[in-house]
């Protein structure tokens, strides 16, 4: 988890225009992902002012501010500029009132501007800050984008996780992270995984060493982050163990307080695990779209039993 994001980092990431602000002001820390849209504050009510959040001004806020007397507008905006206020952000490319410029320059609070609408800008800032500031958990495994599905491959050491991922990459899929995956909760149901900076685009193959996937296979073979939607656990084949053959054993694994569907694949000589994972991803997507082959089989079996009973 990053403790804070600087205003300058957000400016670069979201391509914001810096209307006002010194180099020191642009290094102000953003510690909260929530964005404030000042309403009551513009009327002079500051009892619950969220002074440590970015203040977003859209058409409504600007229209209201323009109806105020210049002296009143300057007084309110000065009160909004506190030592821990990260920045003022203006949407829709709106003009910045002189009083806002004066108040922000006095307290070195940056003023940023974007041409896009308030709702979309709010969503982009919240998504960026939420992802950057969210608590992170590291899990052991390999995260691969298989047909647009984030598949986390796990298993005992030496079972062949990285080799399987390499085969998937050769088949046109994309690597997100190998060996260690940093995951964070985007919301209550969404888990996102990304590589640690030191391992980005790298994969370890026993007997060869570290290889750079982007350098060998091109930019289309890697991806920066991906939602973790399916966990695949590779385990050594045991002759006496019973395995799910119908797909009725729905299991999940909890990662960072999010339940992720999990399937277990026994590994033994002769099994092409990469192809099996491809099929598992396609089958998972088919189930999400409403088609379940297991239910179809059970319905056919029930009909067959009924027909034999009638005879």
Please report, for the domain that includes residue 169, its CATH number: 3.40.50.300
pLDDT of residue 248: 56
- 204 annotated binding-site participant: yes
Residue whose tokens read 């082959």: 293
Token readout for 7 is 């205003």
Helix, strand, or coil (residue 190): coil
pLDDT of residue 2: 60
Residues 129 and 159 in one domain: no
Most trustworthy range by pLDDT among 128-132, 140-144, 154-158, 266-270: 140-144
When the pLDDT of each residue in the chain is averaged and rounded to a whole number, the result is 89
Q: Is 140 one of the catalytic residues?
A: yes
Residues 107 and 188 in one domain: no
pLDDT of residue 1: 53
Residues 127 and 142 in one domain: no
pLDDT of residue 95: 93
Residue 162 has pLDDT above 80, yes or no: yes
Question: Percent helix, strand, coil in the chain (nearest 5)?
Answer: 35, 25, 35
Q: Is 201 one of the catalytic residues?
A: no
- 138 annotated binding-site participant: no
- 241 annotated binding-site participant: no
Residue 215 has pLDDT above 60, yes or no: yes
- 60 annotated binding-site participant: no
Domain tally for the chain? Answer: 2
Residue 232 placed within a domain: yes
| pTM for the predicted model, two decimal places | 0.73
> What average pLDDT score do residues 283-287 get?
86
Residues 263 and 291 in one domain: yes
Q: What is the CATH number of the domain that holds 25?
A: 3.40.1390.20
Please identify which of the residues 161, 174, 201, 223 carries the catalytic annotation: 161
Residue 189, exposed/middle/buried by CB under 10 A (0-12, 13-18, 19+)?
exposed
Compute the CA torsion angle 78, 82, 85, 86 (nearest 10 deg).
Answer: 80
Please identify which of the residues 179, 180, 264, 292 carries the catalytic annotation: 179
User: How many whole angstroms separate alpha carbon 174 and alpha carbon 141?
Assistant: 15
- 198 annotated binding-site participant: no
pLDDT of residue 256: 85
Residue 242 placed within a domain: yes
Q: Is 179 one of the catalytic residues?
A: yes
- Domain boundary pick from 95, 113, 133: 133
Q: Using one digit for the tens of pLDDT, what is the confidence trace for 98-109?
A: 999 999 999 999
Token readout for 22 is 């010194």
User: How many whole angstroms separate alpha carbon 152 and alpha carbon 150?
Assistant: 7
> What average pLDDT score do residues 296-300 get?
67
Domain that holds residue 66: 5-133
Please identify which of the residues 120, 140, 170, 295 carries the catalytic annotation: 140
Please identify which of the residues 206, 241, 242, 245 carries the catalytic annotation: 245
Which of the pair, 69 or 269, is modelled with greater confidence?
A: 69
- 159 annotated binding-site participant: yes
Residue 24 vs residues 15, 105, 302: alpha-carbon distances, Å: 19, 12, 72
Residues 114 and 142 in one domain: no
- Domain boundary pick from 133, 162, 178: 133
Residue 143 placed within a domain: yes
Residue 304 placed within a domain: no
Helix, strand, or coil (residue 26): helix
Strand pairing class (54-57; 35-36): parallel
Residue 301 placed within a domain: no
pLDDT of residue 8: 95
> What average pLDDT score do residues 20-25 get?
92
Q: Is 310 one of the catalytic residues?
A: no
- 156 annotated binding-site participant: yes
Q: Using one digit for the tens of pLDDT, what is the confidence trace for 27-79?
A: 999 999 999 999 999 999 999 999 999 999 999 999 999 999 999 999 999 99
């Amino acid at each position: 988890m990053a403790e804070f994001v600087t205003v300058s980092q957000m400016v670069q990431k979201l391509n914001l225009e810096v209307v006002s602000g010194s180099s020191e002001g642009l290094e102000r820390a953003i510690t909260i992902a929530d964005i404030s849209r000042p309403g009551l504050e513009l009327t002079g009510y500051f009892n619950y002012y969220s002074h440590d959040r970015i203040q977003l001004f859209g058409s409504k806020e600007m229209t209201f501010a323009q109806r105020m007397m210049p002296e009143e507008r300057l007084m309110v905006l000065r009160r909004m500029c506190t030592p821990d206020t990260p920045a003022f952000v203006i949407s829709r490319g709106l003009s910045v009132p002189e009083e806002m410029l004066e108040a922000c320059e006095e307290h070195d609070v940056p003023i940023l501007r974007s041409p896009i609408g308030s709702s979309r800008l709010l969503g982009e800032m919240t998504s960026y800050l939420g992802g950057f500031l969210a608590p992170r958990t590291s899990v052991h495994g390999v995260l691969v984008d298989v047909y647009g599905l984030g598949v986390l491959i796990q298993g005992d050491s030496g079972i062949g996780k990285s080799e399987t991922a390499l085969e998937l990459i050769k088949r046109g899929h994309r690597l997100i992270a190998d060996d260690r995956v940093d995951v964070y909760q985007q919301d209550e149901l969404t888990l996102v995984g990304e590589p640690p900076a030191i391992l980005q685009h790298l994969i370890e193959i026993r007997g060869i060493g570290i290889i750079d996937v982007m350098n060998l296979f091109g930019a289309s073979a890697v991806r920066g982050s991906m939602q973790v939607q399916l966990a695949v656990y590779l385990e050594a084949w045991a002759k006496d163990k019973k395995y799910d053959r119908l797909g009725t054993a729905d299991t999940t694994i909890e990662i960072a307080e999010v339940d992720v569907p999990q399937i277990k694949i026994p590994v033994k000589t002769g099994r092409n695990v990469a192809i099996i994972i491809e099929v598992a991803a396609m089958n998972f997507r088919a189930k999400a779209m409403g088609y379940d082959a297991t239910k179809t089989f059970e319905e056919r079996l029930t009909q067959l039993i009924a027909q034999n009973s009638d005879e």
